[in-house]
Amino acid sequence: MSPLELRSAAAVRTSTTRRALLAGSVGNLVEWYEFGVYGCLATVIAANFFRYEGSSGAEALVATYASFALAFFFRPVGAVLFGRLGDRVGRRPALIAVVGLMTLATVMIGLLPTRAAIGAAAPWLLTLLRVLQGLSAGGEFGGAVALMTEYAPVGRRGLYGAWQSFTVALGLLTGAGTAAALASALSADALHAWGWRIPFLLALPLGAVALWLRTALAEPPPPREPAAPADTPPAAPRELARAVVLGIGRVMGWSAAGYTFLVVLPSYLQATLGASLREALLATALANAGFAASILPAGALSDRIGRRPVMLSGALGVVLLALPLLHLLQSPGVPPWSRAGAVLLAGALVGLMAGPGPAMLAEMFPRRVRCTGLGLAYSLANAVFSGCAGLVITALIARTGDTAVPAYYAAGACALSCCALLSLRGRDHKEPLR
């Protein structure tokens, strides 16, 4: 080929790679925007759907988080269903299906009648829609991460995989920011009556853009990295199961700390520390800003020095600092800038795990089972350690009266995750994808 033809081919590859990165990222943003909205408006949703005559606000909040947790337990089912579709048929059809399902379910929540309108059917219908969202979210991670890492140039898998986590952060931040803006613009009565519907209905144009990008997407090309050794044995079911269990261990701290600091925080600050909805949403927006700011640098750094040191730094940081940071939030008379710094740091520590995490999981599984394997590891970790976070934390605080429960929960999970992260080899990030 002539130099001009080589440059033209390189430009086409670069354009295709960026388009794939955008298509994978925007779907993640839609998925996690809704989860951020649901977490930030949990107290409003509890009052509209789960509170009945004679029940307390705490009971309604526990029921709200039980619905939240149930959706997470359908994520592994979605990881298997859509993962098999992605591994056997192609990444593109799986990614189109999951973003379409998530958009439909989210918009339907925004149109759903409340308990005051249709009685006990309302919470059950909400829970059904949450289940559909759980199925789609379970398939989203595996397909998107496989797509991004398989399109990544040599030596940049960490950065490309980090875009998955970065758009998760953008989704959560957009959800928290939208909820905070509504809480500031509307009266409390208006927010509870109809304002809470607006963020869910906004998923429609976001989902339409994601569908448009994904329908124009091509399947990932064959690996551009050196091929794995020819004598590499195929992954047996037992080997795959071991990899899934190890993957769960490596990301459980990320899952637990992420949902504790980024999603559960608004209702915790309101129900336990007496903060207003606006104060709680502002704190959550700051935590998500810290999370977003650290993800891409962490992913890029992991391409240079390895996944293990970067992810261990985040997990150990949570173990050591979770309790002091929570005490800082609880202490009266602490300057606002100190509280802001505390939540920013908490989010940044989660970002150190979330940045390299997607590429680390992609490197654990061969291409023919990558969507299913990494999606299953991630979704199981999230089902147990994220989906249950709000329910466990709220219930334990109500039972024990100990307001430090969130710090114990996040630090304990990260301590266990450190043990699994130590099994990462120093050169795993430099090896070709299998």
What's the rounded Cα separation, in Å, for the pair 291 and 317?
A: 14
Domain 14-219+237-430: homologous superfamily in CATH: MFS general substrate transporter like domains (1.20.1250.20)
Report DSSP letters for 85-103, one per residue: HHHHT-HHHHHHHHHHHHH
Query: What count of Cα atoms within 13 Å lies in the side-chain half-sphere of residue 64?
Result: 28
What's the rounded Cα separation, in Å, for the pair 199 and 182?
A: 9
What's the rounded Cα separation, in Å, for the pair 130 and 49?
A: 13
- Amino acid at site 186: L
Count of other CB atoms within 10 angstroms of residue 338: 11
- Amino acid at site 299: G
Radius of gyration of the chain (CA): 21
- Do the beta carbons of residue 122 and residue 115 sit within 8 Å? yes
What's the rounded Cα separation, in Å, for the pair 253 and 62?
A: 23
Q: Which residue do the tokens 């995750």 mark?
A: 417
Q: Which residue do the tokens 């047996």 mark?
A: 236
What's the rounded Cα separation, in Å, for the pair 388 and 153?
A: 37
Task: Kindly report whether the global pTM for this prediction surpasses the value 0.85.
Answer: no
- Do the beta carbons of residue 68 and residue 392 sit within 8 Å? no
What's the rounded Cα separation, in Å, for the pair 7 and 159?
A: 24
> What is the reported pLDDT for 155?
85
What's the rounded Cα separation, in Å, for the pair 183 and 173?
A: 15
- Kindly list the domain boundaries of the chain, sorted by start residue: 14-219+237-430
Task: Mention every residue, 6+ apart, whose C-beta is less than 8 A from residue 27.
Answer: 95, 98, 99, 102, 140, 144, 210, 214
Closest CA to 403 of 307, 331, 295: 331
Q: Cα–Cα–Cα angle for 409, 410, 415, nearest 5°?
A: 100
What's the rounded Cα separation, in Å, for the pair 412 and 320?
A: 10
Inter-CA distances, 380 with 205, 332, 393, Å: 30, 38, 19
What's the rounded Cα separation, in Å, for the pair 45 and 51?
A: 9
Report DSSP letters for 333-359, one per residue: T--HHHHHHHHHHHHHHHHHHHTTHHH
- Do the beta carbons of residue 270 and residue 276 sit within 8 Å? yes
> What is the reported pLDDT for 179?
84
In this structure, what token pair is assigned to residue 395? 């219930």
Q: Cα–Cα–Cα angle for 260, 352, 247, nearest 5°?
A: 80
The alpha carbon of 287 is separated from its chain's Cα centroid by a whole number of angstroms, namely 14
> What is the reported pLDDT for 4?
43
* pLDDT tens track, the chain, 434 positions: 444 443 444 444 566 777 778 877 887 788 778 877 877 787 788 888 877 666 555 667 667 767 766 777 888 999 999 998 988 888 888 889 998 998 999 899 999 998 888 888 888 888 888 889 888 888 888 888 888 888 888 788 999 999 988 988 788 778 878 887 888 888 888 888 899 899 999 989 988 888 888 887 777 665 554 444 443 444 567 788 899 999 999 999 999 998 888 777 766 777 666 777 677 777 777 888 898 899 999 999 999 999 999 999 999 999 999 999 888 877 777 777 787 888 889 899 999 999 999 999 999 998 888 999 999 999 899 888 877 777 787 778 878 888 788 889 999 999 999 999 999 987 777 777 87
- Do the beta carbons of residue 79 and residue 378 sit within 8 Å? yes
What's the rounded Cα separation, in Å, for the pair 243 and 246?
A: 5
Task: Mention every residue, 6+ apart, whose C-beta is less than 8 A from residue 163.
Answer: 21, 24, 25, 148, 296, 299
Signed CA dihedral, 213, 218, 219, 221: sign only: negative
> What is the reported pLDDT for 180?
79
Q: Among the residues of 41-90, which ranges form H helices? A: 42-45, 57-73, 75-88
